[in-house]
């Protein structure tokens, strides 16, 4: 079943008389209260009348309703005197012109009701505006969830840049309002690490090698590739050349010249006095110059490469930017390699000097020095970037934060687009509904103005007088009637047949007349023809009434119930009108209660039943609602008031004990078939046990006859002849609850009363 429908009043909290924080649970459109005299019914009607205990629906304005309460207070207030009752106004139906006016009024009222219905569809609970709002909330929740789930990695990586907005709603709001930017994440990470590094500082640049001075200016010596020999002409020079010992002799002379002291270091013989002149004759001037040039080249080369080494080595000794650490290690390896090559080159030059006649070649370091220079230039790029960021740290942080949020928005482009579309759709739909509401309210004002004009000429109290007098006559109250008061045009008076004001009415007459008056007020309108929707409370309207009056009041109350039902369901009206928005009916009279509720239990969505109980001077109110007996997981109403016969069926539906079940069956069969239908017990036994004998005999699994249903039927019907040739004793033979109930139902079916069985079982469940 659907949920209970909510009406204008959504909650009633009672703190009066015998009630303490007692809440009337989930009131709906139609609400029945049953309780004994003195249980607290009148306290409820008075509290609703005062209105302080009420909680109204959010979409309702209390001033738009008239709360009308019928109880003893109403009788006392209105019937202190019977010669000047306040008139009840209705719309007249006199002349053709009046009929045209009333027809227009009815059409306008109908249109106003349709406009109000449409207004409630838009603004009311679970209305279109609420659904739009709910859809937007759902879209926002989905967007926030996506923002949280899809940015987890980025939020961890750039936590400091999004500080204060790492959770919703700030996170989703920031993503939604930031332009998307596809950032280079490697560069962004560098910027982030620097901008939010508390140890960030300036670093010195590497001194780069000068391309012309240091690299292109590396000394060169073509003589290294030439064979340098002497052209000396002396006999000794000729001898040395022939034995190719010039380089060896020159090397030995250079090594031992200062320590030989005139003795040959190799043969230990004394040298000739002119040895120096002879040796010099072996080397001509050009030879000497070439060797000297090579010697000078070596020194220049050594100094030049020493300068380069010092420049690079010193650069590597300065404080290093952490991000350059790997580059620096590579430069160190390259520098060690160059130092080794330089030393090899010097050794090669020395070899040339020791043997000028040989051709040698030294390694070219231009490429390696360029590589080192490029590496230092790369390092300087990072140092420049670091120093630029550190020098303007505030600006760098701002740029980093902006870029991080831009990256978030870029990653979430699809989700942002979906959310913005949902926002746009909601705004467009809401704007359309706002325009429609504006038109509705404008038209409602036009209708109200027009109704005020039309009603001024067509409002009368005569229709209410005629209606009440007719009901008085139909109910047998012929000793008095209602007429217009001659003391005021908008009043009534109650008179006897001699037209004198009635001064003594019986309690029954007084109660019946007062209820008719209340009924007319509920149906009536204001003197200007306007009519607010009504919330009606009826407290025990049938005291001291005879059966005919009770019947008429029950019919009137059923009419008001149907008018209220029209407000909850605009389909298939049984009566005209829907001006009663909500109704509360309280009684202690079981007959009256059953007469107005017999067809209401099934209207679960808009009908409630309450049981009022009083124990130890404390009243409590129970909502009569239970789990459905036919639909799992659903709930249903049940009526707390049943007659004796219905109570038997309720007991039958709940019993499972074999003996107790058979006893209840005996009483049901006796009451229904003998007392109500006037059947003869012997005739029934004959119809069932003789004419339909074969229908109560089954077949067992082994193929033998199953006589159990027949014996059960015999036991059920045997009591009908008690006092003749049978008794009411039932001897248990082990029959199950299902077998007993199936046989009992079969008796009703075979006697043509299956519909009655189905109806009573349905009522037993309610």
DSSP string, 540-608: -TTTT--HHHHHHHHHHHHHHHHHHHHHH--SS-SSS---EEEEEEEES-HHHHHHHHTTTTT-TTTEE
Contact 179, 408 (CB under 8 A): no
SS3 label, residue 631:
coil
Do residues 620 and 704 share a domain? no
Determine the pLDDT at residue 272: 61
Residue 150 lies in a domain: no
Rounded distance between C-alpha atoms, residue 486 and residue 508, angstroms: 27
Q: How many domains does the chain have?
A: 3
Task: End-to-end CA distance of the chain: give it in Å, rounded.
Answer: 15
**Which residues make Cβ contacts (< 8 Å) with residue 340, sequence separation at least 6?**
none
Note the pLDDT tens digit of each residue in 584-636.
999 988 778 888 887 788 899 999 999 998 888 999 999 999 888 778 888 88
Report the percentage of the chain scoring pLDDT > 70.
85
Residue 738 lies in a domain: yes
Reply yes or no on whether the pLDDT at 663 is more than 90. Answer: no
Residue 24 lies in a domain: yes
Do residues 581 and 632 share a domain? yes
Reply yes or no on whether the pLDDT at 246 is more than 70. Answer: no
Reply yes or no on whether the pLDDT at 701 is more than 60. Answer: yes
Do residues 749 and 698 share a domain? yes
Determine the pLDDT at residue 723: 40
Do residues 25 and 82 share a domain? yes
| Range name among 267-281, 500-514, 680-694 with the lowest pLDDT average | 267-281
Q: Which of 588, 605, 637 delimits the end of a domain?
A: 637
CATH number at residue 604: 3.40.50
SS3 label, residue 66:
strand
Do residues 633 and 672 share a domain? no
Residue 127 lies in a domain: no
Rounded distance between C-alpha atoms, residue 324 and residue 381, angstroms: 10
CA dihedral for 272, 273, 278, 283, sign (positive or negative):
positive
Do residues 627 and 649 share a domain? no
Determine the pLDDT at residue 703: 86
Do residues 652 and 622 share a domain? no
Rounded distance between C-alpha atoms, residue 545 and residue 506, angstroms: 10
Do residues 674 and 719 share a domain? yes
Do residues 746 and 711 share a domain? yes
Do residues 678 and 590 share a domain? no
Residue 413 lies in a domain: no
Reply yes or no on whether the pLDDT at 687 is more than 50. Answer: yes
Do residues 663 and 759 share a domain? yes
Rounded distance between C-alpha atoms, residue 518 and residue 68, angstroms: 8
| DSSP assigned state of 211 | I
Q: Domain range spanning residue 13?
A: 9-92+506-637
Determine the pLDDT at residue 724: 40
Residue 68 lies in a domain: yes
Compute φ and ψ for 677, nearest 5 degrees: -85, -20
Q: Which of 637, 668, 691 delimits the end of a domain?
A: 637
Tally of helices (H runs) and strands (E runs) in the chain = 25, 18
Locate tokens 């504006």: which residue? 438
The pLDDT mean for the chain works out to 83
Q: Which of 637, 652, 668 delimits the end of a domain?
A: 637
Determine the pLDDT at residue 729: 45
Residue 732 lies in a domain: yes
Do residues 520 and 624 share a domain? yes
Contact 566, 579 (CB under 8 A): no
Residue 118 lies in a domain: no
Rounded distance between C-alpha atoms, residue 398 and residue 456, angstroms: 73
Reply yes or no on whether the pLDDT at 493 is more than 50. Answer: yes
Note the pLDDT tens digit of each residue in 397-425.
788 889 999 999 999 999 999 999 999 99
Determine the pLDDT at residue 70: 93
Determine the pLDDT at residue 249: 62
Report how far Cα 419 is from the mean position of its chain's Cα atoms: 15
Note the pLDDT tens digit of each residue in 482-492.
888 776 767 88
């Amino acid at each position: 079943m659907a949920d209970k429908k909510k009406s204008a009043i959504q909650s009633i909290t009672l703190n009066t008389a015998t009630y303490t924080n007692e809440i009337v649970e989930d009131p709906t459109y139609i609400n029945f209260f049953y309780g004994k005299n003195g249980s607290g019914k009148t306290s409820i009607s008075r509290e609703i009348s005062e209105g302080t205990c009420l909680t109204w629906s959010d979409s309702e304005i209390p001033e738009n309703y008239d709360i009308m309460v019928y109880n003893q207070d109403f009788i006392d207030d209105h019937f202190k005197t019977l010669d000047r009752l306040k008139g009840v106004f209705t719309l007249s139906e006199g002349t053709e012109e009046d009929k045209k006016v009333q027809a227009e009024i009815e059409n306008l009222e109908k249109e106003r009701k349709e406009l109000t219905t449409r207004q409630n569809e838009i603004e009311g609970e679970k209305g279109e505006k609420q659904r739009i709002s709910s859809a937007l909330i759902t879209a926002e929740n989905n967007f926030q969830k996506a923002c949280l789930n899809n940015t987890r990695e980025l939020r961890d990586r750039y936590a400091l840049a999004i500080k204060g907005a790492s959770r919703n709603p700030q996170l989703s709001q920031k993503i939604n309002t930031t332009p998307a930017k596809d950032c280079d994440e490697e560069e962004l990470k560098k910027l982030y690490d620097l901008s939010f590094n508390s140890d960030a500082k300036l670093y010195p640049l590497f001194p780069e090698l000068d391309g012309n001075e240091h690299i292109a200016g590396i000394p060169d010596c073509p003589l290294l590739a030439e064979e340098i020999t002497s052209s000396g002409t002396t006999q000794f020079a000729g001898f040395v050349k022939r034995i190719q010992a010039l380089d060896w002799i020159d090397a030995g002379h250079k090594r031992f010249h200062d320590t030989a002291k005139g003795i040959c270091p190799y043969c230990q013989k004394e040298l000739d006095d002119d040895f120096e002149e002879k040796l010099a004759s072996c080397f001509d001037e050009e030879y000497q110059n070439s060797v000297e040039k090579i010697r000078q080249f070596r020194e220049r080369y050594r100094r030049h490469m020493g300068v380069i080494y010092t420049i690079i080595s010193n650069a590597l000794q300065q404080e290093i930017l952490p991000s350059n650490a790997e580059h620096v290690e590579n430069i160190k390896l390259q520098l060690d390699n160059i130092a080794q090559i330089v030393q090899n080159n010097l050794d090669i030059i020395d070899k040339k000097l020791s043997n000028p006649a040989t051709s040698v070649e030294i390694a070219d370091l231009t490429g390696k020095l360029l590589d080192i220079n490029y590496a230092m230039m790369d390092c300087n790029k990072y140092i420049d970037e670091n120093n630029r960021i550190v020098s303007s740290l505030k600006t760098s942080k701002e740029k980093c934060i902006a870029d991080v949020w831009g990256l978030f928005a870029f990653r979430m482009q699809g989700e942002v687009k979906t959310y913005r579309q949902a926002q746009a759709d909601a705004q467009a739909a809401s704007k359309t509904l706002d325009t429609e509401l504006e038109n509705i309210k404008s038209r409602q004002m036009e209708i109200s103005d027009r109704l005020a004009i039309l009603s001024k000429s067509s409002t009368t109290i005569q229709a209410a007088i005629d209606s009440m007098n007719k009901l008085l006559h139909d109910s047998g109250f012929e000793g008095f009637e209602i007429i217009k008061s001659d003391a005021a045009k908008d009043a009534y008076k109650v008179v006897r047949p001699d037209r004198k004001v009635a001064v003594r009415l019986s309690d029954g007459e007084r109660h019946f007349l007062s209820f008719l008056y209340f009924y007319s007020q509920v149906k009536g309108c204001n003197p200007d023809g306007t009519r607010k929707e009504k919330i009606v409370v009826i407290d025990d309207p049938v005291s001291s009434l005879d059966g005919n009056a009770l019947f008429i009041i029950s019919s009137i109350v059923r009419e008001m119930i149907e008018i209220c039902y029209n407000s909850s369901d605009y389909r298939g009206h049984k009566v005209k009108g829907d001006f009663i928005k909500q109704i509360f009916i309280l009684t202690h009279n079981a007959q009256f209660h059953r007469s107005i509720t017999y067809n209401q239990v099934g209207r679960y969505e808009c009908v409630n039943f309450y049981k009022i109980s009083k124990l130890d001077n404390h009243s409590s109110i129970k909502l009569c609602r239970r789990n459905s007996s036919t639909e799992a997981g659903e709930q249903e109403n049940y009526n707390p008031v049943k007659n004796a016969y219905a109570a038997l069926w309720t007991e039958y539906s709940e019993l499972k004990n074999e003996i107790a079940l058979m006893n209840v069956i005996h009483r049901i069969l006796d009451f229904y078939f003998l007392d109500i239908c006037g059947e003869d017990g012997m005739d029934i036994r004959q119809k069932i046990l003789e004419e339909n004998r074969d229908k109560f005999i089954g077949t067992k699994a082994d193929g033998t006859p199953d006589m159990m249903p027949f014996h059960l039927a015999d036991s059920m019907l045997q009591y009908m002849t008690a006092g003749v040739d049978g008794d009411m004793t039932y001897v248990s033979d082990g029959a199950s609850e299902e077998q007993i109930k199936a046989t009992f139902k079969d008796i009703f079916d075979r006697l043509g009363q299956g519909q009655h069985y189905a109806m009573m079982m349905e009522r037993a469940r309610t």
